[in-house]
Amino acid sequence: MTTYHLDSALSDDMKQVRDTVHRFAVEVMRPAAAELDRMSDASDVVAPDSVLWKVMDRYKELGIGDPSKYDPDLSPAERALLHAVVLEELSWGDVGLAISVGLCDTIAPWALGFGRQEAYEYFSKREDIGCLALTEPDHGSDHVGFTEPIFSDPAVRPSCRARREGNEYVINGQKAAWVSNGTIATAAALFCTMEDSKDGLKGGAAFLVPLELPGVSRGKPLDKIGQRSLNQGEIFFSDVRVPEAFMLIEGPDAYGMVWEMVLKQANSAMGQQFVGVARAALDHAVAYAKERVQGGVPIIQHQGVKARLFRMFSKVEAARALARRVAVEAAVADIPFQHAAASKIVCTQTAYEVAHDAVQIFGGNGLAREYPVEKLFRDARASLIEDGENDFLGLMAASRL
Ligand SMILES: Cc1cc2nc3c(=O)[nH]c(=O)nc-3n(C[C@H](O)[C@H](O)[C@H](O)COP(=O)(O)OP(=O)(O)OC[C@H]3O[C@@H](n4cnc5c(N)ncnc54)[C@H](O)[C@@H]3O)c2cc1C
């Protein structure tokens, strides 16, 4: 394991959890991710004999995904810190898999969080693979941008819409190929728009939708350059009837506020996850620089390489400090959106820059599939768009300053 932890805030029990997750990352996630990343057909990633399912099973056995199930004696701040440690380790292993397996534990907690007891009882009996379905082919940033005029523009007609009929909601339309776990999820947290909305996207509603319901269908798994171990794909809804008990919130008074809360949590989690990616790139670069001999000495002895490694190290430390500060603060207070956005933007940009530098330190080998850093570079590149494109998130956050 990297020696770079300043971990006096972690108890011995927390360190034990970290070490267990680290072993899982080394022994299970990394070999599986290397295999999944090389698959030329994205459908093979989710084929019945794919190693993905073994990773999911082993992850569930670890019982680490839902922080509410951690040691009950932990304070909210300690729980958040431990979860940040877990997310970093999993993502150090492979961020695509970390995101995919991390969504497994999300559906029943959504119901609990929104006080929907009947939905909680229903979903807590299932072992759902979850997803968060928001993006549509014609509305990506529009759906994210709760601070922007477009969000409440009545002229915007999104694809995926719901109407109420008696004690059910009827959903029609589609979500984009970017939905993570889109073709394998068994249930979705669906953010869509009410058919009679007078406020455009802001007149939305959120539902928990079992994806075996009649009228649900899927697209093909998406082929993309980074996070190839993370399944993504479209979800289509044709007259899908969802009981009102599975509705989380509805209408312009609640929707924007709730979406902001969800985006804050997602952005904060992304920050913690991409610290793991940045650290993985740093670890590989340091190890390689100590082994690779050029000019008669290990390249770490060349001043330019040494200076680059220290810049990488400093960036990882700074990103981790921000990500954990935001995560811990969010566990005890309602943090402003700009802090969560800063965590996501800084940490994903850090992962991208550190992975870029790692490729440089590996020289030509950095570009070769045989070595691990080109994959980290591709994984980090995707993160600059994931969960809200970084420049756009920055504009949203700036409107709150
Ligand atoms: C790896 C990955 C995982 C993802 N997972 C999910 C998921 O689980 N669920 C889900 O629903 N979605 C998911 N997404 C989708 C993601 O949220 C969107 O890709 C993102 O919000 C951007 O939307 P878009 O791709 O449609 O780009 P667009 O909205 O078309 O943006 C294109 C460009 O225009 C700029 N732009 C757009 N609007 C404005 C504006 N008003 N002002 C200034 N600039 C603007 C953007 O900043 C961007 O540079 C994922 C994406 C990736 C890459």
Each residue's pLDDT tens digit, 187-226: 999 999 999 999 999 999 999 999 999 999 999 999 999 9
* Residue to substitute in 146, 232, 386, 391 for testing ligand 1 pocket (most ligand atoms within 8 angstroms of CB): 386
CATH of domain 12-110: 1.10.540.10
pLDDT in tens, 138-197: 999 999 999 999 999 999 989 999 999 999 999 999 999 999 999 999 999 999 999 999
pLDDT in tens, 83-132: 999 999 999 999 999 999 999 989 999 999 999 999 999 999 999 999 99
Type of residue found at 263: L
Averaged pLDDT, 26-33: 98
pLDDT in tens, 242-269: 999 999 999 999 999 999 999 999 999 9
Look over the chain and give the mean of its residue pLDDT values, rounded to a whole number: 96
Share of the chain above pLDDT 90, in %: 95
Output the CA 295–ligand 1 centroid distance in Å: 45
Residue 391 Cα: closest atom of ligand 1: 47
The answer regarding whether domain 257-398 maps to CATH 1.20.140.10 reads yes
Residue 226 Cα: closest atom of ligand 1: 1
Average the pLDDT over each of 6-10, 133-137, 215-219, 240-244 and give the range with the smallest value.
6-10
The three state secondary structure string of 223-287 is: CCCCCCCCCECCEEEEEEEEEHHHEEEECHHHHHHHHHHHHHHHHHHHHHHHHHHHHHHHHHHHH
Per-residue pLDDT band for 67 (boundaries 50, 70, 90) equals: confident
Per-residue pLDDT band for 1 (boundaries 50, 70, 90) equals: very low
The yes-or-no verdict on residue 5 having pLDDT over 80 is no
CATH architecture of 130-250: Beta Barrel (2.40)
Output the CA 270–ligand 1 centroid distance in Å: 15
Output the CA 384–ligand 1 centroid distance in Å: 9
Residue with the smallest CA separation from ligand 1 atom 2 is 386
Predicted local distance difference test score (pLDDT) of residue 12: 93
Identify whether the C-beta of residue 92 lies closer than 8 Å to the C-beta of residue 273: no
Predicted local distance difference test score (pLDDT) of residue 390: 98
Predicted local distance difference test score (pLDDT) of residue 327: 98
DSSP element (H, E) containing 363: none
Q: Report whether residue 394 contacts ligand 1, using a CB cutoff of 6 Å.
A: no
How many CA atoms are closer than 13 Å to the CA of 52, on its beta-carbon side?
27
Identify whether the C-beta of residue 396 lies closer than 8 Å to the C-beta of residue 147: yes
Output the CA 141–ligand 1 centroid distance in Å: 5
Q: Domain spans of the chain?
A: 12-110, 130-250, 257-398
Averaged pLDDT, 323-336: 97
Identify whether the C-beta of residue 165 lies closer than 8 Å to the C-beta of residue 189: no
Q: Decide whether 12-110 matches 257-398 in CATH topology.
A: no
Predicted local distance difference test score (pLDDT) of residue 4: 52
The yes-or-no verdict on residue 2 having pLDDT over 80 is no
Predicted local distance difference test score (pLDDT) of residue 195: 96
Residue 284 vs residues 161, 277, 291, 301, 362: alpha-carbon distances, Å: 46, 11, 11, 16, 9
Residue with the smallest CA separation from ligand 1 atom 7 is 179
Structure tokens at 248: 């989380």
Angle at 325 between CA 256 and CA 249, to 5 degrees: 20
